[in-house]
Homo-oligomer: A and B are copies of this chain.
Amino acid sequence: MPQSASSTWTISELAEEFSVTARALRFYEDKGLLTPTRHGQARVFSATDRARLRLILRGKRVGFSLEEIREMLDLESITSGSPQHLGVWLTRFRARIEVLKQQRRDIDGAIEELETGCAWMEARQADLEPSAELKSRARAFEALARARLEH
């Protein structure tokens, strides 16, 4: 039983905690997103590594590529760059923000549609029999869906 309270983790501990495979963690190291120390051959992950992993997974969930995440995690290259270099990053950050805001709008729309679909399905499940009334409702739903399509 490893001393999991001493703020270091093995590869499989981290893998399980974040529901990823050990292979993925080794892959992230290959790509320069994680740099665990070693004890002999075995990787030893620190609290910082763990925090970086958290950011990596969050970045992934919002659509960043691993390469983009790597660049963003590398604060050094931002804080030590020239003002001109800084401008490049500013532009990229702002563009990213716009993309994320669009994505947010899309997500809100998608949630709405999915919830509408759920409501309809629940209503249909409530009446157990395919009555004439249900059929007309179904047709109404289809009409609505079609209207959304036409918009």
Which residues does chain B contribute within 8 Å of A58, judged by CB atoms?
A: 106, 109-110
Contact A110 B51 (CB under 8 A): no
Of the residues B61, B93, B121, contact of A118 by C-beta under 8 Å:
B93
Alpha-carbon gap, A97 to B151, bound state (A) = 23
Q: Is the interface of A mostly helix, strand, loop or mixed?
A: helix
Number of A residues contacting the other chain (C-beta, 8 Å)?
Answer: 50
Distance between A120 CB and nearest chain B CB, rounded to angstroms: 9
Which residues does chain B contribute within 8 Å of A96, judged by CB atoms?
A: 114
Given contacts A58-B109, A106-B62, A110-B58, contact A48 B90 (CB under 8 A): no
Alpha-carbon gap, A86 to B94, bound state (A) = 43
Contact A86 B51 (CB under 8 A): no
Contact B125 A111 (CB under 8 A): no
A29 at the interface (CB under 8 A from B): no
Contact B114 A93 (CB under 8 A): yes
A17 at the interface (CB under 8 A from B): no
Distance between A119 CB and nearest chain B CB, rounded to angstroms: 10
Task: Flag A102-124 by CB within 8 Å of B: 1 or 0 each.
Answer: 11101111110011011001101
Contact B103 A62 (CB under 8 A): yes
Closest 6 CB pairs of A and B: A51-B149, A61-B106, A62-B106, A93-B114, A62-B110, A90-B121
